[in-house]
Protein backbone atom coordinates (compact mmCIF):
# COMPACT_ATOMS: atom_id res chain seq x y z
CA UNK A 1 0.00 0.00 0.00
CA UNK A 2 2.76 2.39 0.91
CA UNK A 3 4.52 1.69 -2.33
CA UNK A 4 1.29 2.10 -4.22
CA UNK A 5 0.60 5.32 -2.42
CA UNK A 6 4.08 6.57 -3.16
CA UNK A 7 3.69 5.78 -6.82
CA UNK A 8 0.36 7.61 -6.86
CA UNK A 9 1.89 10.69 -5.29
CA UNK A 10 4.83 10.59 -7.63
CA UNK A 11 2.52 10.21 -10.54
CA UNK A 12 0.53 13.12 -9.21
CA UNK A 13 3.64 15.26 -8.96
CA UNK A 14 4.55 14.40 -12.51
CA UNK A 15 1.06 15.41 -13.59
CA UNK A 16 1.38 18.72 -11.79
CA UNK A 17 4.81 19.24 -13.31
CA UNK A 18 3.52 18.52 -16.77
CA UNK A 19 0.57 20.87 -16.26
CA UNK A 20 2.94 23.60 -15.08
CA UNK A 21 5.15 23.13 -18.11
CA UNK A 22 2.10 23.27 -20.39
CA UNK A 23 0.96 26.58 -18.88
CA UNK A 24 4.43 28.06 -19.30
CA UNK A 25 4.54 27.00 -22.94
CA UNK A 26 1.01 28.30 -23.54
CA UNK A 27 1.90 31.68 -22.04
CA UNK A 28 5.05 31.84 -24.16
CA UNK A 29 3.06 30.94 -27.29
CA UNK A 30 0.42 33.57 -26.50
CA UNK A 31 3.09 36.22 -26.00
CA UNK A 32 4.65 35.29 -29.34
CA UNK A 33 1.25 35.34 -31.09
CA UNK A 34 0.37 38.71 -29.62
CA UNK A 35 3.70 40.06 -30.77
CA UNK A 36 3.10 38.66 -34.24
CA UNK A 37 -0.42 40.11 -34.37
CA UNK A 38 0.85 43.52 -33.30
CA UNK A 39 3.57 43.46 -35.96
CA UNK A 40 1.13 42.37 -38.68
CA UNK A 41 -1.34 45.01 -37.53
CA UNK A 42 1.31 47.69 -37.67
CA UNK A 43 2.35 46.65 -41.16
CA UNK A 44 -1.28 46.61 -42.33
CA UNK A 45 -1.87 50.03 -40.82
CA UNK A 46 1.12 51.40 -42.67
CA UNK A 47 -0.09 49.80 -45.89
CA UNK A 48 -3.58 51.22 -45.44
CA UNK A 49 -2.10 54.63 -44.76
CA UNK A 50 -0.11 54.41 -47.97
CA UNK A 51 -3.19 53.32 -49.91
CA UNK A 52 -5.14 56.24 -48.51
CA UNK A 53 -2.45 58.55 -49.77
CA UNK A 54 -2.96 57.16 -53.25
CA UNK A 55 -6.67 56.42 -53.32
CA UNK A 56 -8.08 58.66 -50.63
CA UNK A 57 -9.63 62.07 -50.80
CA UNK A 58 -6.40 63.59 -52.02
CA UNK A 59 -3.89 62.18 -54.46
CA UNK A 60 -0.29 63.29 -54.39
CA UNK A 61 1.52 64.07 -57.65
CA UNK A 62 4.50 62.20 -56.28
CA UNK A 63 2.56 58.94 -56.46
CA UNK A 64 2.65 59.07 -60.28
CA UNK A 65 5.55 58.52 -62.63
CA UNK A 66 4.08 60.59 -65.48
CA UNK A 67 5.05 64.23 -65.86
CA UNK A 68 1.68 64.96 -67.42
CA UNK A 69 -1.43 63.13 -66.22
CA UNK A 70 -5.18 63.60 -66.36
CA UNK A 71 -8.18 61.73 -64.95
CA UNK A 72 -11.36 62.90 -66.66
CA UNK A 73 -15.06 62.26 -66.17
CA UNK A 74 -15.98 61.00 -69.61
CA UNK A 75 -19.61 62.08 -69.26
CA UNK A 76 -19.07 65.75 -68.41
CA UNK A 77 -15.49 66.30 -69.57
CA UNK A 78 -14.56 67.57 -66.11
CA UNK A 79 -10.96 67.00 -65.01
CA UNK A 80 -11.14 65.04 -61.75
CA UNK A 81 -7.38 65.02 -61.21
CA UNK A 82 -4.48 66.58 -63.04
CA UNK A 83 -0.70 66.63 -62.79
CA UNK A 84 0.85 69.01 -65.28
CA UNK A 85 -2.37 68.43 -67.21
CA UNK A 86 -2.10 71.69 -69.17
CA UNK A 87 1.63 71.50 -69.95
CA UNK A 88 2.30 70.92 -73.68
CA UNK A 89 4.34 67.77 -74.37
CA UNK A 90 5.07 65.33 -77.18
CA UNK A 91 2.52 62.51 -77.28
CA UNK A 92 4.06 59.92 -79.64
CA UNK A 93 1.62 57.32 -81.03
CA UNK A 94 -1.29 58.34 -78.82
CA UNK A 95 -1.70 60.71 -81.78
CA UNK A 96 -3.22 57.80 -83.68
CA UNK A 97 -6.55 57.97 -81.84
CA UNK A 98 -7.23 61.22 -83.69
CA UNK A 99 -6.01 59.67 -86.95
CA UNK A 100 -8.33 56.72 -86.46
CA UNK A 101 -11.48 58.65 -85.55
CA UNK A 102 -11.04 61.03 -88.49
CA UNK A 103 -10.49 58.06 -90.80
CA UNK A 104 -13.71 56.46 -89.55
CA UNK A 105 -15.72 59.68 -89.86
CA UNK A 106 -14.38 60.91 -93.19
CA UNK A 107 -12.76 57.94 -94.94
CA UNK A 108 -14.17 55.15 -97.10
CA UNK A 109 -13.42 51.76 -95.51
CA UNK A 110 -13.82 49.97 -98.85
CA UNK A 111 -11.46 52.31 -100.70
CA UNK A 112 -8.23 50.97 -102.21
CA UNK A 113 -5.22 52.98 -101.02
CA UNK A 114 -1.87 53.01 -102.80
CA UNK A 115 1.32 53.34 -100.79
CA UNK A 116 3.23 56.53 -101.64
CA UNK A 117 6.98 57.03 -101.41
CA UNK A 118 6.39 58.85 -98.11
CA UNK A 119 4.52 55.86 -96.70
CA UNK A 120 7.21 53.45 -97.90
CA UNK A 121 9.88 55.58 -96.20
CA UNK A 122 8.16 55.64 -92.79
CA UNK A 123 10.44 54.35 -90.01
CA UNK A 124 9.79 51.43 -87.71
CA UNK A 125 7.47 50.40 -86.28
CA UNK A 126 5.92 49.73 -89.71
CA UNK A 127 4.21 47.31 -92.05
CA UNK A 128 7.12 47.66 -94.41
CA UNK A 129 4.97 48.64 -97.41
CA UNK A 130 6.48 49.12 -100.87
CA UNK A 131 5.71 52.16 -102.99
CA UNK A 132 2.79 51.31 -105.25
CA UNK A 133 1.52 48.49 -103.02
CA UNK A 134 -2.26 48.65 -102.50
CA UNK A 135 -4.46 47.98 -99.47
CA UNK A 136 -8.07 48.24 -98.37
CA UNK A 137 -8.47 51.40 -96.33
CA UNK A 138 -10.39 49.58 -93.56
CA UNK A 139 -7.60 47.01 -93.08
CA UNK A 140 -5.10 49.79 -92.47
CA UNK A 141 -7.02 50.99 -89.39
CA UNK A 142 -6.23 47.73 -87.61
CA UNK A 143 -2.55 48.01 -88.57
CA UNK A 144 -2.69 51.57 -87.27
CA UNK A 145 -4.29 50.87 -83.90
CA UNK A 146 -3.23 47.33 -82.99
CA UNK A 147 0.42 47.40 -84.08
CA UNK A 148 0.82 51.20 -84.25
CA UNK A 149 2.42 51.02 -87.70
CA UNK A 150 3.75 54.37 -88.87
CA UNK A 151 3.42 53.69 -92.60
CA UNK A 152 -0.22 52.68 -92.08
CA UNK A 153 -0.83 56.12 -90.52
CA UNK A 154 0.65 57.86 -93.56
CA UNK A 155 -1.51 55.79 -95.93
CA UNK A 156 -4.63 56.53 -93.87
CA UNK A 157 -3.86 60.27 -93.89
CA UNK A 158 -3.31 60.28 -97.64
CA UNK A 159 -6.42 58.16 -98.15
CA UNK A 160 -8.60 60.73 -96.33
CA UNK A 161 -7.09 64.07 -97.34
CA UNK A 162 -4.71 63.35 -100.20
CA UNK A 163 -1.58 64.34 -98.28
CA UNK A 164 -0.12 64.22 -94.79
CA UNK A 165 -0.08 68.02 -94.63
CA UNK A 166 -3.76 68.37 -95.55
CA UNK A 167 -4.70 65.66 -93.06
CA UNK A 168 -2.74 67.41 -90.30
CA UNK A 169 -4.80 70.55 -90.98
CA UNK A 170 -7.96 68.51 -90.58
CA UNK A 171 -6.61 67.01 -87.33
CA UNK A 172 -6.05 70.49 -85.93
CA UNK A 173 -9.51 71.62 -86.99
CA UNK A 174 -11.03 68.61 -85.26
CA UNK A 175 -9.01 69.26 -82.11
CA UNK A 176 -10.49 72.76 -81.93
CA UNK A 177 -14.00 71.38 -82.48
CA UNK A 178 -13.51 68.93 -79.62
CA UNK A 179 -12.40 71.74 -77.30
CA UNK A 180 -8.64 71.20 -77.13
CA UNK A 181 -6.81 74.27 -75.82
CA UNK A 182 -3.14 73.54 -76.58
CA UNK A 183 -2.76 70.82 -79.20
CA UNK A 184 -0.97 70.95 -82.53
CA UNK A 185 -0.71 68.05 -84.97
CA UNK A 186 2.05 67.83 -87.58
CA UNK A 187 2.16 64.09 -88.25
CA UNK A 188 -0.60 61.42 -88.34
CA UNK A 189 1.57 58.85 -86.53
CA UNK A 190 2.99 60.87 -83.64
CA UNK A 191 6.57 61.01 -84.88
CA UNK A 192 8.25 64.26 -83.95
CA UNK A 193 7.63 67.08 -86.39
CA UNK A 194 7.52 70.84 -86.72
CA UNK A 195 5.71 73.12 -89.14
CA UNK A 196 4.68 76.78 -89.27
CA UNK A 197 2.26 76.16 -86.40
CA UNK A 198 4.91 74.79 -84.09
CA UNK A 199 5.96 71.41 -82.76
CA UNK A 200 3.77 68.32 -82.69
CA UNK A 201 2.32 68.31 -79.16
CA UNK A 202 -0.69 68.11 -76.88
CA UNK A 203 -1.50 68.26 -73.17
CA UNK A 204 -2.75 65.49 -70.91
CA UNK A 205 -6.10 67.31 -70.56
CA UNK A 206 -6.48 67.73 -74.34
CA UNK A 207 -5.52 64.11 -75.01
CA UNK A 208 -8.20 62.97 -72.54
CA UNK A 209 -10.75 65.17 -74.36
CA UNK A 210 -9.85 63.53 -77.67
CA UNK A 211 -10.26 60.04 -76.22
CA UNK A 212 -13.57 61.10 -74.67
CA UNK A 213 -14.73 62.18 -78.09
CA UNK A 214 -13.60 58.90 -79.66
CA UNK A 215 -15.41 56.60 -77.20
CA UNK A 216 -18.44 58.67 -76.21
CA UNK A 217 -19.30 61.52 -78.59
CA UNK A 218 -18.25 60.66 -82.12
CA UNK A 219 -20.92 59.30 -84.49
CA UNK A 220 -18.35 56.56 -85.20
CA UNK A 221 -17.65 55.69 -81.56
CA UNK A 222 -18.90 52.11 -81.93
CA UNK A 223 -16.63 51.53 -84.92
CA UNK A 224 -13.71 53.03 -82.99
CA UNK A 225 -14.31 50.65 -80.09
CA UNK A 226 -14.61 47.71 -82.45
CA UNK A 227 -11.19 48.42 -83.95
CA UNK A 228 -9.39 49.16 -80.69
CA UNK A 229 -10.89 46.18 -78.82
CA UNK A 230 -9.96 43.63 -81.51
CA UNK A 231 -7.29 41.26 -80.19
CA UNK A 232 -6.00 39.99 -83.52
CA UNK A 233 -6.63 40.92 -87.15
CA UNK A 234 -5.23 39.47 -90.38
CA UNK A 235 -5.39 40.71 -93.96
CA UNK A 236 -3.75 40.56 -97.40
CA UNK A 237 -2.68 43.40 -99.61
CA UNK A 238 -4.92 43.92 -102.62
CA UNK A 239 -2.56 41.93 -104.83
CA UNK A 240 -2.84 38.96 -102.45
CA UNK A 241 0.93 38.80 -102.36
CA UNK A 242 1.68 39.66 -98.72
CA UNK A 243 -0.19 38.43 -95.65
CA UNK A 244 -0.21 40.52 -92.47
CA UNK A 245 -1.22 39.67 -88.93
CA UNK A 246 -1.79 42.37 -86.30
CA UNK A 247 -2.04 41.81 -82.55
CA UNK A 248 -3.37 44.22 -79.95
CA UNK A 249 -0.65 45.45 -77.58
CA UNK A 250 -2.96 47.35 -75.22
CA UNK A 251 -2.40 45.46 -71.96
CA UNK A 252 -4.97 47.64 -70.18
CA UNK A 253 -7.83 45.79 -71.92
CA UNK A 254 -7.18 42.75 -69.69
CA UNK A 255 -5.89 44.69 -66.69
CA UNK A 256 -9.12 46.10 -65.25
CA UNK A 257 -12.78 45.14 -65.49
CA UNK A 258 -14.61 47.59 -67.71
CA UNK A 259 -11.60 48.61 -69.81
CA UNK A 260 -12.92 50.04 -73.09
CA UNK A 261 -10.07 51.24 -75.23
CA UNK A 262 -6.61 52.72 -75.23
CA UNK A 263 -3.46 53.55 -77.16
CA UNK A 264 0.20 53.39 -76.23
CA UNK A 265 3.00 55.56 -77.55
CA UNK A 266 6.75 56.03 -77.34
CA UNK A 267 9.48 58.17 -78.84
CA UNK A 268 12.78 59.16 -77.32
CA UNK A 269 11.42 62.70 -76.92
CA UNK A 270 7.94 61.83 -75.62
CA UNK A 271 8.85 58.89 -73.39
CA UNK A 272 6.18 56.31 -72.71
CA UNK A 273 2.66 57.66 -73.18
CA UNK A 274 -0.81 56.22 -72.79
CA UNK A 275 -4.47 57.16 -73.07
CA UNK A 276 -7.25 54.79 -72.04
CA UNK A 277 -10.94 54.62 -71.22
CA UNK A 278 -12.85 52.53 -68.68
CA UNK A 279 -16.56 52.15 -67.97
CA UNK A 280 -17.67 50.61 -64.69
CA UNK A 281 -20.51 51.17 -62.22
CA UNK A 282 -22.04 53.63 -64.67
CA UNK A 283 -18.90 55.78 -64.65
CA UNK A 284 -16.91 56.59 -67.79
CA UNK A 285 -13.33 57.45 -66.84
CA UNK A 286 -10.54 58.63 -69.14
CA UNK A 287 -6.85 58.55 -68.20
CA UNK A 288 -4.06 60.16 -70.20
CA UNK A 289 -0.34 60.01 -69.43
CA UNK A 290 2.55 61.87 -71.05
CA UNK A 291 6.26 61.42 -70.36
CA UNK A 292 5.58 58.40 -68.16
CA UNK A 293 9.13 57.10 -67.93
CA UNK A 294 11.79 56.11 -70.42
CA UNK A 295 13.51 52.76 -71.08
CA UNK A 296 13.60 50.49 -69.20
CA UNK A 297 10.36 51.54 -67.50
CA UNK A 298 7.58 50.34 -69.80
CA UNK A 299 5.47 49.30 -66.82
CA UNK A 300 5.18 52.79 -65.34
CA UNK A 301 2.24 53.68 -67.60
CA UNK A 302 0.25 50.65 -66.47
CA UNK A 303 0.91 51.44 -62.81
CA UNK A 304 -0.20 55.06 -63.22
CA UNK A 305 -3.26 54.07 -65.24
CA UNK A 306 -4.42 51.63 -62.59
CA UNK A 307 -3.85 54.17 -59.79
CA UNK A 308 -5.82 56.90 -61.52
CA UNK A 309 -8.69 54.65 -62.59
CA UNK A 310 -8.96 53.19 -59.09
CA UNK A 311 -8.86 56.68 -57.58
CA UNK A 312 -11.77 57.72 -59.79
CA UNK A 313 -13.82 54.61 -59.06
CA UNK A 314 -13.31 54.79 -55.28
CA UNK A 315 -13.65 58.52 -54.68
CA UNK A 316 -16.35 59.77 -57.06
CA UNK A 317 -20.05 58.98 -57.16
CA UNK A 318 -22.91 60.43 -59.19
CA UNK A 319 -24.93 63.10 -57.40
CA UNK A 320 -28.03 64.90 -58.60
CA UNK A 321 -27.34 68.65 -58.51
CA UNK A 322 -30.55 69.91 -60.12
CA UNK A 323 -32.62 72.13 -57.84
CA UNK A 324 -36.38 72.24 -58.19
CA UNK A 325 -38.37 75.43 -58.00
CA UNK A 326 -35.78 77.83 -59.41
CA UNK A 327 -38.24 79.16 -61.98
CA UNK A 328 -41.41 78.98 -59.87
CA UNK A 329 -42.10 82.71 -60.10
CA UNK A 330 -43.23 85.39 -62.52
CA UNK A 331 -41.43 88.60 -63.45
CA UNK A 332 -43.33 91.87 -63.65
CA UNK A 333 -43.28 93.71 -66.96
CA UNK A 334 -43.08 97.49 -66.97
CA UNK A 335 -45.59 99.19 -69.25
CA UNK A 336 -46.85 95.81 -70.31
CA UNK A 337 -50.33 94.63 -71.11
CA UNK A 338 -51.43 91.03 -71.17
CA UNK A 339 -54.96 89.71 -71.06
CA UNK A 340 -56.30 93.18 -70.43
CA UNK A 341 -54.14 93.80 -67.36
CA UNK A 342 -52.17 97.03 -67.02
CA UNK A 343 -48.97 98.15 -65.35
CA UNK A 344 -45.88 96.63 -63.87
CA UNK A 345 -47.68 95.42 -60.77
CA UNK A 346 -50.41 93.73 -62.75
CA UNK A 347 -48.67 92.38 -65.82
CA UNK A 348 -46.09 89.61 -65.53
CA UNK A 349 -44.21 87.03 -67.57
CA UNK A 350 -43.49 83.39 -66.73
CA UNK A 351 -40.00 81.89 -66.92
CA UNK A 352 -39.10 78.54 -68.44
CA UNK A 353 -36.11 76.58 -69.63
CA UNK A 354 -35.87 75.99 -73.34
CA UNK A 355 -38.83 73.99 -74.55
CA UNK A 356 -38.05 70.30 -74.51
CA UNK A 357 -34.92 70.83 -72.42
CA UNK A 358 -34.88 68.06 -69.79
CA UNK A 359 -32.68 69.96 -67.37
CA UNK A 360 -33.07 67.58 -64.45
CA UNK A 361 -31.75 64.71 -66.54
CA UNK A 362 -28.60 66.58 -67.45
CA UNK A 363 -27.41 67.64 -64.02
CA UNK A 364 -26.09 64.37 -62.63
CA UNK A 365 -22.37 64.65 -62.00
CA UNK A 366 -19.47 62.69 -60.56
CA UNK A 367 -18.56 64.34 -57.28
CA UNK A 368 -16.61 63.55 -54.15
CA UNK A 369 -18.62 63.17 -50.96
CA UNK A 370 -17.42 66.55 -49.67
CA UNK A 371 -17.94 68.47 -52.93
CA UNK A 372 -20.89 70.85 -53.06
CA UNK A 373 -22.34 72.56 -56.09
CA UNK A 374 -23.47 76.19 -55.83
CA UNK A 375 -26.48 77.28 -57.88
CA UNK A 376 -26.48 80.89 -59.07
CA UNK A 377 -29.49 82.47 -60.79
CA UNK A 378 -29.17 85.49 -63.04
CA UNK A 379 -32.81 86.46 -63.39
CA UNK A 380 -34.36 89.91 -63.74
CA UNK A 381 -36.60 91.48 -61.13
CA UNK A 382 -38.46 93.29 -63.88
CA UNK A 383 -38.73 93.26 -67.67
CA UNK A 384 -39.63 96.05 -70.04
CA UNK A 385 -42.38 95.57 -72.58
CA UNK A 386 -42.63 94.29 -75.19
CA UNK A 387 -41.51 90.78 -74.27
CA UNK A 388 -41.58 88.08 -76.93
CA UNK A 389 -42.18 84.47 -75.99
CA UNK A 390 -38.95 82.44 -76.23
CA UNK A 391 -36.65 85.44 -75.68
CA UNK A 392 -33.76 84.65 -73.33
CA UNK A 393 -34.13 86.75 -70.20
CA UNK A 394 -31.62 85.14 -67.82
CA UNK A 395 -29.72 82.02 -66.86
CA UNK A 396 -29.13 79.45 -64.13
CA UNK A 397 -25.51 78.42 -63.47
CA UNK A 398 -23.98 75.59 -61.47
CA UNK A 399 -20.60 76.31 -59.89
CA UNK A 400 -18.07 73.89 -58.42
CA UNK A 401 -15.16 75.37 -56.51
CA UNK A 402 -16.03 78.71 -58.05
CA UNK A 403 -15.82 77.40 -61.62
CA UNK A 404 -18.89 77.23 -63.86
CA UNK A 405 -19.63 73.63 -64.81
CA UNK A 406 -23.14 74.00 -66.25
CA UNK A 407 -25.30 76.84 -67.47
CA UNK A 408 -28.89 76.82 -68.67
CA UNK A 409 -30.61 79.75 -70.41
CA UNK A 410 -33.97 80.94 -69.13
CA UNK A 411 -36.66 82.13 -71.54
CA UNK A 412 -39.88 84.13 -71.42
CA UNK A 413 -42.87 81.83 -71.22
CA UNK A 414 -45.40 84.18 -72.88
CA UNK A 415 -45.79 87.32 -74.98
CA UNK A 416 -46.31 90.64 -73.23
CA UNK A 417 -47.23 93.58 -75.43
CA UNK A 418 -46.33 97.19 -74.73
CA UNK A 419 -48.99 99.71 -73.78
CA UNK A 420 -49.25 102.17 -76.66
CA UNK A 421 -51.69 104.80 -77.90
CA UNK A 422 -53.57 102.37 -80.12
CA UNK A 423 -54.13 99.96 -77.25
CA UNK A 424 -55.29 102.77 -74.96
CA UNK A 425 -57.82 104.01 -77.55
CA UNK A 426 -59.12 100.48 -78.05
CA UNK A 427 -59.41 100.06 -74.31
CA UNK A 428 -61.35 103.32 -73.93
CA UNK A 429 -63.61 102.46 -76.84
CA UNK A 430 -64.47 99.09 -75.35
CA UNK A 431 -65.20 100.56 -71.97
CA UNK A 432 -67.63 103.16 -73.31
CA UNK A 433 -69.22 100.93 -75.94
CA UNK A 434 -70.03 98.29 -73.37
CA UNK A 435 -72.13 100.69 -71.29
> Annotated catalytic sites, by residue?
93, 96, 148
Give the residues across from 49 on adjacent strands. Answer: none
Phi and psi dihedrals of 405, rounded to 5? -110, -25
Give the integer Cα–Cα distance in Å for 247 and 384.
67
Distance in angstroms (rounded) separating the CA atoms of residues 224 and 257: 19
Contacts of 401 by beta carbon, 8 Å cutoff, 6+ apart: 371
Alpha carbons 294 and 272: distance in angstroms, whole number: 6
Scanning 56-149, the segments in alpha helix (DSSP H) are: 96-106, 117-120, 137-146
With beta carbons less than 8 A apart as the criterion, state whether 125 and 215 touch: no
Q: CA–CA separation, 103 vs 154, rounded Å?
A: 11
Report, in angstroms and rounded to the nearest whole number, the Rg of the chain calculated over CA atoms.
Answer: 34
Cα–Cα distance, 136 to 111 (Å, whole number): 6
Instruction: Give the list of residues 6+ apart from residue 50 with CB closer than 8 angstroms, or none.
Output: none
Give the Cα separation of 93 and 333 in Å (integer). 59
Instruction: Using alpha carbons, select from 221, 250, 286 the residue that is nearest to residue 148.
Output: 250
Amino acid sequence: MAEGAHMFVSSGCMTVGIMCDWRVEMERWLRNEMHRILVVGLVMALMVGKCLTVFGAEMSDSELYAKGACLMDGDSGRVLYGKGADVPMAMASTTKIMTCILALEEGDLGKVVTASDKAAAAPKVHLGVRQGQTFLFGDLLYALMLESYNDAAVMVAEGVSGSVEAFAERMNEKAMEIGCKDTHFVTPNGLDGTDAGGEHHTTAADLALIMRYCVALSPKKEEFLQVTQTQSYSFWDCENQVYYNCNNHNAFLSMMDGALSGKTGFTSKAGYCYVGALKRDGKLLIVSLLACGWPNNKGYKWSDTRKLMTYGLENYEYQEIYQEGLLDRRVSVEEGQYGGRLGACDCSCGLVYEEGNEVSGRTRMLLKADEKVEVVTDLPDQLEAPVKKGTQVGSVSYLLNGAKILEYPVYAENNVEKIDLEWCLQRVFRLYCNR
